[in-house]
């Protein structure tokens, strides 16, 4: 009986070694892959190097590489966006005086008279800002730069807050 039990243990061990060997092969193949982290860094997948049997326990050997971080971690959705686009929601909520901004945008030919009148016809500052953004999208980055400069003069504290906290 003891001999059979030993044979059974040997067969089970051999079967486990085969299973672990196949798993190790799959892990080793996966270990050579890298992926991009959410912050833009590169994460190397762990590297499976083997397994050891100690009685009823199986010990796996895995190397875990370091994460390489980018120094300028920017949310993927904001990367490459203009400042006024990144802060659209806050600007829409917090800009108080839209009329002087519109006057300057009209004078600098960023918006035309029709857009100016359409924006001014909206009843709330939030609706005016939403409509203004539609016109700004048509003007491209140059128009957005002018808009940002106007905001820095007419909404100085708001802009300082957005630059500092966001």
pLDDT for position 33: 44
Which structural domains are found in the chain, ordered by start?
A: 2-68 (no CATH), 83-165 (1.10.533.10)
> CA-to-CA distance for 20 and 67, rounded, in angstroms?
27
Average of per-residue pLDDT across 43-50: 55
Contact 135, 122 (CB under 8 A): no
Residue 50, φ and ψ in degrees, nearest 5: 155, -175
Q: How confident is the model at residue 21 (pLDDT cuts 50, 70, 90)?
A: low
What integer best gives the mean pLDDT of the chain? 73
> In the prediction, which pLDDT does 2 show?
42
Q: Is the pLDDT of residue 77 over 70?
A: no
What separation in angstroms does the CA of 163 have from each of 39, 53, 83, 85, 159? 20, 57, 9, 13, 6
Q: How confident is the model at residue 68, as a pLDDT?
A: 37
Q: What pLDDT score does 93 carry?
A: 95
Residue 58 has a pLDDT of 73
- Strands (DSSP E) contained in the chain are 34-36, 42-44, 47-54, 57-63, 67-68
Highest mean pLDDT among 6-10, 28-32, 91-95 belongs to: 91-95
Q: What is the rounded average pLDDT of the residues 87-91? A: 95
Q: What is the mean pLDDT of residues 40-58?
A: 60
Share of the chain above pLDDT 70, in %: 55
Question: Given a cut of 70, is residue 166 above it in pLDDT?
Answer: no
């Amino acid at each position: 009986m003891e001999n059979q039990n030993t044979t059974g243990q040997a067969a089970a061990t051999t079967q486990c070694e085969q299973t672990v060997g196949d798993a190790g092969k799959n892990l080793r193949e996966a270990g050579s892959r890298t992926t991009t982290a959410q912050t833009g860094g590169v994460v190397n997948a762990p590297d499976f190097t083997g397994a050891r049997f100690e009685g009823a326990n199986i010990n796996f050997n895995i190397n875990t590489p370091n994460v390489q971080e980018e120094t300028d971690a920017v949310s993927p959705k904001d990367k490459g966006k203009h400042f006024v686009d990144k802060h659209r929601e806050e600007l829409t909520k917090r800009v108080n005086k839209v009329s002087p901004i519109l006057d300057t945008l009209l004078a600098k030919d960023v918006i035309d008279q029709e857009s100016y009148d359409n924006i001014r016809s909206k009843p709330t500052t939030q609706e005016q800002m939403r409509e203004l953004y539609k016109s700004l999208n048509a003007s491209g980055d140059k128009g957005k730069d002018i808009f940002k400069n106007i905001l820095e003069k007419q909404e100085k504290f708001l802009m300082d807050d957005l630059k500092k906290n966001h």
